[in-house]
A and B are shown apart, each in its own frame.
Chain A
Amino acid sequence: MEAMSHLVKAAGATTSTPTELKAQAAASSAGFAYGLAAIGPGIGIGYLVGKSVEAMARQPEAAGMVRTTMFLGIAFTEALALIGFVVFILIGL
């Protein structure tokens, strides 16, 4: 999590050892890792919930079933973003 300090060091320091360089690269790429991983699931969950609301509005008597299925879909879609988050922690360390 000292990603920010690595970035600060990268901004201030003139010379760096290979380990520092590696840490700086990891720090800057960790943010990208999570940001990129969040794009797809973001679109996916938005689409999924929107469609579910549409279905619930069209058939309110099926709302319970639609909601359960929606949560299942969200869980599967969200897993991708969460894997990105785990990678973010792994790289950023």
Chain B
Amino acid sequence: MLTAVVTRVGEAFTVHLSTVPPTTPPAQETTTTNANTTLSTDGVVAKDGTATATKDTAAPGPNPIVPELKEVVWGAGAFIVFALIMRYLAFPRLKRGMDARYSGIRADHEQADATRIAAKTDVAAYQSQLAAAKAEAAATVDVARQQLEAKRTERIAAANAEIATMRAAAAADNDAARAAVQGQIQGAVADVSSNAITLAVGKAPDTAVVSRVVDEVMSAGANR
């Protein structure tokens, strides 16, 4: 049972908490001798002990700085038992589990790293293969292109040669025809000339001379 006594002395209010019921008035009231003695008891409040912090206190003891043996002994015993349990039972088990899990995680990490490196080498091999295939394909294409080019030039050369022979044959035909025509014309002109001379002179000229003269004149005329 905790009791709070609120006392007013002049202008001063005093709240006094004590474990004893207020059977004896506080010291201030006995020393108050002036006229407002009636006011000094107007605030006596008895109430239940609400704060558990002050419910079951011990009797006033020594200085609070001085350690109490029973507390030291109990605290020491509790801590030593606790530390020994932690050192030899709880901590090693916990730590072993933690280490096992962490090393497992680390192993997993290393495995993942190894896998990643393997994948990287695979990718590199694939890429080198790809490059080789590409080079091969390019080489094949080049070869084919060169073959085609050679074939084409060959064909063109053949066609050109054919054209040349054909043209030469045509030119020969042409020349032969022209020579024939020229011979016919020459013969005709010589005939006409010798006839004309026969008519004019009365006797037939030498055909060889006539044909030579005609030939000269024609070639001279052609050359003019």
Contact = CB atoms under 8 A, between A and B. Distances in A.
Q: Do chains A and B touch in the complex (CB under 8 A)?
A: yes
A89 B12 contact: no
A29 to B, nearest CB: 17
Which bucket holds chain B's interface residue count?
10 to 19
Interface in B32-77: 63-65
B182 interface: no
Contacts, number: 20
Nearest to B13: A8
A8 B65 contact: no
B31 interface: yes
A38 B16 CA distance: 29
A1 B189 CA distance: 169
B64 A12 contact: no
Which bucket holds chain A's interface residue count?
10 to 19
B14 A12 contact: no
Given A12-B9, A12-B12, A89 B31 contact: no
Contacts of A9: 27-28
A89 B66 CA distance: 12
Nearest to B32: A12
A86 interface: yes
Interface in B78-112: none
Contacts of A55: none
The 6 A-B pairs of least Cβ separation, nearest first, read A8-B12, A90-B65, A12-B9, A86-B65, A93-B63, A8-B14
Given A5-B16, A8-B14, A12-B28, 7 more contacts: A5-B14, A9-B27, A11-B12, A12-B9, A12-B12, A89-B65, A90-B65
11 contacts: A5-B14, A5-B16, A8-B12, A8-B14, A11-B12, A12-B10, A12-B28, A13-B31, A90-B63, A90-B65, A93-B64
